[in-house]
Structure 1
């Protein structure tokens, strides 16, 4: 379709842009999740992830370069059990591009977004990140960016269900805020990679040094050590909401069981199957 590129503001043909990179969706399908489901719409099955008309071919090409770098240098190496991961400036660009796309998805999907207390902050952040992504102008106010590498859950002390599946398999894109209007973050996760940027906070980010993405270069040594109240609180509420209030309908659950029944051995040996087994058997003991 014709339109204005959200990145370069040029008028022309727009691509159906993936919010979560296509290689992530392919990996999820290959490892046991044949259909993708949004956290807020579990009854809608998608074979190719979330896409919206957003970018020009030139912008897609720029984002694609960093997606390829991330897949080759971070995504696949970590999933193949490499826990010492050096990186360069491409990681920061990739992270900002993912979170920037998340803002645009929320603007498109949430009709009431402009009425929320943090809307102007989102607009200011979007402008800064667009300047960085399109013209290499480093963000002055909204420059922090974090990445947490999750892994198979060995134990947890909550009553939550589906903790392993959420942390290692689910894709989730959202804006995090609190009723007190003191906290705002942009959040995007897929598989075992959790990205976020804090736009407003009463404090506590000092404990996130192991998760911080250096804009130029650095090295991740996994497992990471951190304590952060906001992320813990959000994940508890998010997983609780998914397990208690966002279940797929009985009809959709039947379709999931039918897919598993076609080759149950292959499913339970897949990453998705191992995650579900861990949640429903090991972690319930």
Structure 2
């Protein structure tokens, strides 16, 4: 498909670009069902993640380099139970490229964004991030990116359901604000990795040292300390939203059951099975 590359602005052949990295989609399918379902459209089975005709081959190659680095140096080691993770500038680039794609998706699919109080702010952030991804010039204003590592939930003192499933399995992304217009975050998560960028400061951002990504590199020590109210509130609301979504139709539920019954022992040993068991029996 011919069009203009969202990163380089040149007219070229556009590839179908994944919003969530391809290796994340593959891992999610490998450790659960071979099909994916949007929790907003549970009756639609998908074999791949969300894609848009968005980027040129050159842009895809730039992003793929950082995705490969993240998979090899952060994703696989952490899921393999490594809790001290050194990183370099590639992690900052990966975080920006992931959340930039989330922002582009929101701009292309949410027709109400132009009426939002923060519309000009997200356009400003998109422009800054795009410049960084093209040239390496660090964002000057919207430059605080964070990564929080989640894990299997051992204790659930809240009234929320599906907490383990959300923290360890769900792919999710959104723009988050509040009614007083005192906070604005861009949020994206997959597997046990929660990313966000601060676009309008609520207060307490100076205490995000354990989760903030240094553009020049650093080290994460896990578990991390996180007492940032906007993010905690956002996650609680997202878990509740997922729990309140409509269930798949009876026909689709039968298909899910048939898939499990092909090898129930393997299903309950999978990451998805462990998560569902934990939520429904342990917690």
TM over 0.5: yes
TM-superposed deviation, 1:42: 2.6
What secondary structure sits across from 2:241 in the alignment? helix
Does the CA-based 8 Å contact 1:175-1:187 persist in structure 2?
yes
Does the CA-based 8 Å contact 2:15-2:57 persist in structure 1?
yes
Corresponding residue for residue 262 of structure 2:
262
Corresponding residue for residue 180 of structure 1:
180
Flag the 1:247–1:208 CA change in 2: closer, same or farther, 3 A. Answer: farther
Does the CA-based 8 Å contact 1:17-1:52 persist in structure 2?
yes
Q: Give me the whole-angstrom Cα distance separating, in 2, the residues matched to 1:253 and 1:201.
A: 43
Residue deviations 1:85-123 (CA, integer Å, cap 9, x gap): 100000000000000000011112211111111111110
Q: Give me the whole-angstrom Cα distance separating, in 1, the residues matched to 2:108 and 2:270.
A: 34
Count of residue correspondences: 283
Pairing 1:60-209 to 2, within 5 Å after superposition: 60-209=60-209
User: TM-score scaled by structure 1?
Assistant: 0.97
What secondary structure sits across from 1:26 in the alignment? helix
Residue deviations 1:114-172 (CA, integer Å, cap 9, x gap): 11111111100000000000011110000000000000000121111100000001100
More off after superposition, 174-183 vs 130-139:
174-183
Q: Give me the whole-angstrom Cα distance separating, in 2, the residues matched to 1:267 and 1:160.
A: 24
Does the CA-based 8 Å contact 1:96-1:145 persist in structure 2?
yes
Unaligned runs of 5+ in 2: none
Pairing 1:177-256 to 2, within 5 Å after superposition: 177-256=177-256
What secondary structure sits across from 1:145 in the alignment? strand
Q: Give me the whole-angstrom Cα distance separating, in 1, the residues matched to 2:251 and 2:111.
A: 28
Runs of 4+, deviation exceeding 4 Å: none
Q: Give me the whole-angstrom Cα distance separating, in 1, the residues matched to 2:269 and 2:21.
A: 25
What secondary structure sits across from 2:3 in the alignment? strand
Corresponding residue for residue 37 of structure 1:
37
Corresponding residue for residue 277 of structure 1:
277
TM-superposed deviation, 1:246: 4.2
User: TM-score scaled by structure 2?
Assistant: 0.97
Unaligned runs of 5+ in 1: none
Q: Give me the whole-angstrom Cα distance separating, in 1, the residues matched to 2:53 and 2:138.
A: 26
Does the CA-based 8 Å contact 1:39-1:172 persist in structure 2?
no
Residue deviations 1:209-267 (CA, integer Å, cap 9, x gap): 10000001101111111201111111111111111234333333222222111111000
TM-superposed deviation, 1:33: 2.9
Does the CA-based 8 Å contact 1:38-1:172 persist in structure 2?
no
